[in-house]
Amino acid sequence: MRRAKPPQRLPARPEKAGPRPAAGRDESWLWGRHAVAAALANPRRRWRRLVVLPSERAAAEALAMAARAERLGDEGAVEVTDRAALNRLLPAGAVHQGWALAVLPLMPPDLEDVLREAATRPGRTVIVVLDRVGDPHNVGAVLRSAAAFGAAAVIVAEHGAPPATGVVAKAASGALDQVPLVRATNLARTLDRLKAAGFWCCGLDAAAQEPLAALDPGPRVALVLGAEGGGLRRLVREECDWLARLPTRPEQPSLNVSNAAAIALYELARRGPGG
């Protein structure tokens, strides 16, 4: 149903000594230089172990020192090890670039906190809502685009969405520690809450009549995307004020959800709040 348009140097372990075999029970690993650097720079993040290859030691010590200077905590020393030992710490095939960080989970961000902050943001505020998107690579890629184009948050369903583990963090290339990833129990009710806060909800649908570029969604937009193939669920679709499509060719009307999100976020950022 649609509504009318709104008018000291850190000690390191000896290089020949391999790291302890695993993170603690409440810890998980992040890997890749961008994901690790973003986690170290995030004042809300607590970490226990930073494990790197010898070639990355100086950079890792500098980042860890800066992180410890910014906040109090019980973060550990930089551990230096060889590639084989580092590979054993991480899931098979993890592209770590010589960096791994054992972290504690972030405190889940609260939607009300996001909305309070959004009220003070200049220009257009965009929140991305993902319906039935369960692939961690896709969620991570959407987070990366959200960070690149200045989205205020990404909202996912509590059930079905992947946990914020190393796979999401690596695909997000640091954005997991930059963009709030909010988990909602009920997406339809969450869209109602966004509307009450002044957001207009625009669902992407390859079969929609109007292209996204033809709409004027106003200064606050919730961009709603469904999984490739299944699309938006009925109740989520019905909560959208508009349905819009991207200008794809009829021979290939749909895109991977992360690609669709990037294009839509670019379009909203390009036009600005009044375009």
pLDDT at 19: 52
Instruction: Give the C-alpha separation, 205 to 28, whole Å.
Output: 36
pLDDT at 67: 83
pLDDT at 223: 97
Which portions of the chain are predicted below pLDDT 70?
1-26, 69-76, 272-275
pLDDT at 121: 86
Q: What is the pTM of this model?
A: 0.85
With beta carbons less than 8 A apart as the criterion, state whether 80 and 12 touch: yes
pLDDT at 15: 38
**What's the order of all strands across the beta sheet hosting 153-157?**
181-184, 153-157, 125-131, 220-226, 200-204, 242-245, 210-211
pLDDT at 190: 97
pLDDT at 69: 65
Residue 52: which of 9, 13, 103, 91 has the closest Cα? 13
Domain annotation for the chain: domains and CATH numbers: 28-103 (3.30.1330.30), 111-271 (3.40.1280.10)
* Sequence-ordered list of residues with C-beta below 8 angstroms from that of 52, at least 6 positions apart, any chain: 60, 78, 79, 80, 81, 86, 98, 99, 100
Q: What is the DSSP string of 14-43?
A: -TTSPPPSS--TT-EEEESHHHHHHHHH-T
pLDDT at 16: 39
Residue 195: which of 26, 47, 43, 2 has the closest Cα? 2
pLDDT at 12: 39
Instruction: Give the C-alpha separation, 155 to 132, whole Å.
Output: 11
Residue 148: which of 123, 173, 168 has the closest Cα? 173
pLDDT at 10: 36
